[in-house]
């Protein structure tokens, strides 16, 4: 049996919304060969296996594949490790080192746009057009569709469709926020999904920081095959 932490990442101010995340703090208790099956069984956008908590070494799986970097997994795992150990720990997914910091109720992590999946973006004229979509625009299958709510304030409405990663529509997509913030070259306040909020801002050397609120919903035992 392995302990599974159930989180929501990029929650709104009142704690609602957020993208579901599952984290195995003792990831080494689950064999590497079994991890993709575990992620598929759980069925959420991403599942994280922490292989070394002190060094922040993690692996990230969607229901369909392993990814070298993803936004809400690094923010959520950074928050959870800080909660368990009383300090922020830089994370090391396969893509590279991810700085983590805490600021009040918010947790921030930083990554590079080139680490993210190959997101496309489609800008629409108004938030109502984004709301009215019943799926991705024709010819796009891994895409963020967005519109300005308040351009001077950097406030946008976005929906992200990610069928190639086993996710029809993602509730909050940190890696897409990294890419979009880098492309626009400015701070963003992204309202995604049914009630999630992602803050993003470019830093030096091409790094983009993303952050938001994290909520712990449950800790349970998972009966995966272990070593």
Whether the CA torsion 22, 27, 33, 34 is positive or negative: it is: negative
Radius of gyration of the chain (CA): 17
pLDDT band for 146, please (50, 70, 90 cuts): very high
- pLDDT value at position 225? 45
- pLDDT value at position 160? 97
**C-beta separation of 184 from 176 below 8 A:** no
Instruction: Write out the CATH class of domain 2-109+213-222.
Output: alpha beta
- pLDDT tens-digit profile of 161-185? 998 877 899 999 999 999 999 999 9
**Statement: residue 143 has pLDDT above 90:** yes
pLDDT band for 90, please (50, 70, 90 cuts): very high
**Statement: residue 227 has pLDDT above 60:** no
**What tokens appear for 41 in the block?**
């069984």
pLDDT band for 197, please (50, 70, 90 cuts): very high
The average pLDDT across 128-138 equals: 95
End-to-end CA, the chain = 10
Q: Would residue 206 be called left, alpha or beta, if left means φ above 0 and alpha means ψ between -120 and 50 degrees?
A: left
Half-sphere exposure of 128 (CA within 13 A, CB side): 0
Locate CATH 3.10.310.10 in the chain.
2-109+213-222, 115-211
pLDDT band for 89, please (50, 70, 90 cuts): confident
- pLDDT value at position 164? 85
Residue 33, class by beta-carbon neighbours within 10 Å (0-12 exposed, 13-18 middle, 19+ buried)? exposed
- For residues 104-118, b (16+ Cβ closer than 10 Å) or e, as one string? eeebbbbbbbebbbe
Tell me which CATH code domain 115-211 carries: 3.10.310.10
**Statement: residue 226 has pLDDT above 50:** no
Instruction: Quote the CA–CA distance of 46 and 94 in Å, as a whole number.
Output: 15
- pLDDT tens-digit profile of 15-68? 999 999 999 999 989 999 999 999 999 988 899 999 999 999 999 998 888 999
pLDDT band for 157, please (50, 70, 90 cuts): very high
**C-beta separation of 59 from 27 below 8 A:** yes
- pLDDT value at position 188? 98
**What tokens appear for 146 in the block?**
């967005």
For helices 71-85 and 174-184, what crossing angle results, to 10°?
110
């Amino acid at each position: 049996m392995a302990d599974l932490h159930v989180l929501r990442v990029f929650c709104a101010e009142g704690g609602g919304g957020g993208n579901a995340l599952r984290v195995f703090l003792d990831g080494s208790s689950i064999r590497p060969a079994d991890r993709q099956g575990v992620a598929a069984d759980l069925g959420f956008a991403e599942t994280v296996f922490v292989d070394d908590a002190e060094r922040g070494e993690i692996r990230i799986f969607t229901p369909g594949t392993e990814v070298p970097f993803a936004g809400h997994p690094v923010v959520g795992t950074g928050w959870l490790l800080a909660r368990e150990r009383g300090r922020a720990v830089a994370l090391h997914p396969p893509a590279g080192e991810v700085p983590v910091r805490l600021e009040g109720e918010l947790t921030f992590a930083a990554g590079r746009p080139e680490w993210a999946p190959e997101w496309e973006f489609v800008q629409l004229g108004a938030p109502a057009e984004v709301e009215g979509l019943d799926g991705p625009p024709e010819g796009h299958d891994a895409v963020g569709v967005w519109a300005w709510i308040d351009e001077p304030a950097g406030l946008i409405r976005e929906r992200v469709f990610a069928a190639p990663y086993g996710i029809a529509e993602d509730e909050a997509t940190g890696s897409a926020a990294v890419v979009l913030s880098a492309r626009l070259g400015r701070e963003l306040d992204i309202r995604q999904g049914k009630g999630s909020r992602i803050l993003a801002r470019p830093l030096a050397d091409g790094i983009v920081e993303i952050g938001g609120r994290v909520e712990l919903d449950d800790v349970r035992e998972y009966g995966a095959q272990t070593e």
